[in-house]
Amino acid sequence: MDKFILIGPQGSGKGTQSQMICQDFDCVHISIGDIFRWNLANHTKLAARVTRIMNEGRLVPDEIVEEVVRKRLEEHDWNYGFVLDGFPRTRSQAEYLFEGWNLDRAIYLEIPDEVVYERVATRVAQGQAQGFTKRADDNPEALKMRLKEYYEKTMPLLDLFERKNMLLRINAYRAIPDVYADIRKGLGLGEPRKKAPAA
């Protein structure tokens, strides 16, 4: 079973690369951000607890995220494994994951700091020019806060993954297919699996 996690700053292509891996290798793509956004759209009880935090670009408290992840992983709905996109983002979350799951690799999508800032600035400018954005957390303050949270709480996890010999560093400041080719090579994934026909 393949159990991968993908980490990287906003705009590093986590969602895109997770989807590509899952499509070719028949894994389940688990995006914690998507699960939260689904809750927001459906006005669930969970949404009432996290909407403000998310819209401000802050990280949702660990115990809430860990509960969401626990429930999601309990579904065991994969054939070959899963790709966790956007989890863990803090030390507590990483420890939580290590306790219950034997992970294979942590894929780190690396892009230069100045490019991260440039992309954030572009999104801010676009948002201001259009007067609306797709995501409530794409406003200037939230974008900056998300970046701050990333550098303060998520970046330090790289050391942890490195010490566990599970970190795969990928230069993600390149064309999408090139990044993907490197990930496949780094993970030793070989040729795409044929998907089992739907029952």
The CA distance from 74 to 113, in Å, is 36
The CA distance from 98 to 113, in Å, is 28
Which residue is nearest to ligand AMP, using beta carbons? 33
Q: With contact defined as beta carbons under 8 Å apart, do 58 and 154 qualify?
A: no
Question: Which residue from 134, 118, 148, 108 is spatially nearest to 13, judged by alpha carbons?
Answer: 108
Task: End-to-end CA distance of the chain: give it in Å, rounded.
Answer: 21
Phi, psi values for residue 89, rounded to 5°: -120, -5
Q: With contact defined as beta carbons under 8 Å apart, do 34 and 84 qualify?
A: no
111 binds ligand AMP (CB under 6 A): no
65 binds ligand AMP (CB under 6 A): yes
Interacting span for ligand AMP (CB under 6 A) from 1-9, 49-57, 168-176, 186-194: 49-57
Catalytic, out of 135, 144, 169, 174 = 135
Output the smallest distance, CB 13 to ligand AMP, in A: 12
Instruction: Considering the complex, state which of residue 55 and residue 167 has its C-beta at the smaller distance from ligand AMP.
Output: 55
82 binds ligand AMP (CB under 6 A): no
60 binds ligand AMP (CB under 6 A): yes
Task: Give contact residues for ligand AMP (rule: CB under 6 A).
Answer: 32-33, 36, 53-54, 57-60, 65, 86-87, 89, 93, 137, 146
